[in-house]
Structure 1
Amino acid sequence: MSDEVKKDTGPSGPPVWMLSLADLISLLLTFFVMLFAMSKVKIDRWDEVVDALSQSIKPSPKEESDEPKASLNIPRVYRKPAMNLDYLSAVIDDAIDDNPVLGDARMSRDADKLVISLPGDILFVSGSSDMTPKAKQALFVLGGVLRNIGNRIGVQGHTDPRPLSGRGQYASNWELSLARAGAVANELKRSGYTDYINIYGFAASRYDQLPALLDENARFEMARRVDIVIEPHSGSGIGGT
């Protein structure tokens, strides 16, 4: 039996050079972390990178459009909703109460319509459709209220039953009443009302509807008026009555 004793070396470990490599890698990692911490990140570029990655990883779904695809389609029309006439009456009353021209206007209800009666003697030169500067300013104020509603509007011109003198620019009361209704409608358009306005000239055809208890002068004054008729529903009014 040999007297030579074998030495127990135990489990074998990694080579010595790997310890130096691990230290080197740790130092390099620490160095790059310190560089990144001291650097200034450009937020806009960072957001662009994040957005690009987000779109590539999880693209946002496309929203389906309900627009018509056919080559010939009826255009879609968006209209403002009609306003409640009771509420509208209160708003108009507040807007015209302190106006020197519109303060004499009368508001009334005709069936389901709201009627604003403007005195013609204040708005126009006698026997003419020429509007005074104060009347134009007053209608601009009224139009500023009406342009925000979707209700259908009509303008009706009226005169007293006496025939015209024949020396003016209009041959009949009907022509005068129609011209005055058109003048009022044009001023409402200039103030920003964009929908169609029905225009009517009634002359003295509705004179009998005025209160019979008034004396003749008061009835004549009330007859020379322009009515703005506001309907409870919306619409273009083209071809309406």
Structure 2
Amino acid sequence: MNAHARPIIIRRKKVVHAHHGGSWKIALADFMTALMALFLVMWILTAASKQQREAVAEYFRTPLVVALAGGDKSTASTSAIPGGGDDPTHAEGEVRRIDRREYSRPSDAQRRFFEALQLRIEAAIMADPELRDLRGQMRFDMTLEGLRIQVLDTEQRPMFSLGSDRVEPYMRELLRTMAPLINELPNEMSISGHTDNLPYAGGIGGYSNWELSSARANASRRELVAGGLSPEKLLRVAGMADNVPMPEMPRESPMNRRIELLMLYPETANSIRSPAVLPEPAAEPVWIPGIEDLTAMLQSQAPAPAEQPERVL
């Protein structure tokens, strides 16, 4: 063998077979998911009532723009602008419904003033050991007319003597404590007295719950003025008897015996001071009857001749 002979090298290329891929598995999974969803929908529709199926059908008939606008098919327009119709300037098309209660809502400044007043009154009451127990008889809430402060009566701690407008000492102290705090607000004020539906037992000469509630409201006014409230701030003092009971309370409940102090919004005060007057109706033409009309009227008012009874032979 020749030592110088070159060795023979055989190169064999390793062939790697390509993977078949798993895309068919994804497609099969999607198909099985869609098929299962179809079976579920068919099963739900089979178990649903007729009204439920009609509701589902109406949902799919609703246009997309209407659904996005939060409307329904029968009342909403095809515009995605709520209440705008085809014309966002409202020159044509739908008109936005106006809630008149929005015009009676307090401004942010008024609400802050009223909330600050409530906090200061509560702090002054809690700082006085003799008035601390009266906090449970007070209610603060915002109404369409203003901030309402209610002082409620109880069987254990009445505000006035029984059947009288004589103010109890703790009620007098409470009103005189609130007076300088209320006086710091520029708002005018209304006071109303309320009673339960029990008739006034000692009434002489027609004295009733109307007179009692009015007298108690006026007695509260005197105590507030004595405590430092400016008399010019008082716009209305009224007695309501038992006509406005507390919500969800029986009319004989002692909580209906209460005094309401109302801090009025400026708009409400103006409407009380100068109520709007309705315009006079247009004068209708006066009809003056002629001679022919008078003759017809007299003939229509003449009594009908009496019927003669049938003669019996």
| TM-score scaled by length of structure 1 | 0.56
Tell me what 1:149 maps to.
185
Q: Which residue of 2 aligns with 1:139?
A: 175
Alpha-carbon displacement from aligned partner over 1:34-59 (angstroms, at most 9, x marks no partner): xxxxxxxxxxxxxxxxxxxxxxxxxx
Task: Choose the corresponding residue for 2:226, options 176, 180, 190.
Answer: 190
Unaligned 5+ residue runs, structure 2? 1-108, 276-313
Aligned residue identity for 1:190: A
- One-letter amino acid of the counterpart of residue 113, structure 2: N
Aligned positions of 1:1-241 closer than 5 A: 84-98=113-127, 99-100=131-132, 102-103=134-135, 104-121=137-154, 122-167=158-203, 171-194=207-230, 195-197=232-234, 198-207=236-245, 210-212=246-248, 214=249, 216=250, 220-233=253-266, 239=273
- Answer yes or no: is the 8 Å Cα contact 2:195–2:209 preserved in 1: yes
State the alpha-carbon separation in 2 of the partners of residues 86 and 201 from structure 1.
27
Structure 1 spans left out of the alignment, 5+ residues: 1-80
Tell me the SS of whatever aligns to 1:91. Answer: helix
CA contact (8 A) 2:191 2:260 kept: yes
User: Which sits farther off after the overlay, 157-166 or 171-180?
Assistant: 157-166
Q: Aligned in 2, Cα 1:204/1:133: closer, same or farther, shift over 3 Å?
A: same
CA RMSD of aligned residues (A): 3.0
Separation in structure 1 between the aligned mates of residue 223 and residue 272 of structure 2, nearest angstrom: 19
What amino acid sits opposite 2:225 in the alignment?
Answer: K
Q: Deviations over 1:27-86 (max 9, x none)?
A: xxxxxxxxxxxxxxxxxxxxxxxxxxxxxxxxxxxxxxxxxxxxxxxxxxxxxx977222
Greater share of residues in strand: 1
Following the alignment from structure 1 to structure 2, what is the Cα–Cα distance between the partners of residues 211 and 238? 25
- The structure with higher relative contact order (CA 8 Å, sep 6+) is 1
Name 2:41's counterpart in structure 1.
none
User: For 2:229 and 2:150, how far apart are their aligned partners in 1?
Assistant: 18
* 2:114 partner amino acid: L
Work out the CA distance in 2 between the residues paired with 1:96 and 1:236.
32
**8 Å CA contact 1:170, 1:176 repeated in 2:** no
SS in 1 for 2:240: strand
Change (3 A) 1:124 1:238: same
Q: State the distance in 2 between where 1:240 and 1:127 align.
A: 35
Shift of 1:233: 2.9
Q: What amino acid maps onto 2:149 in structure 1?
A: I
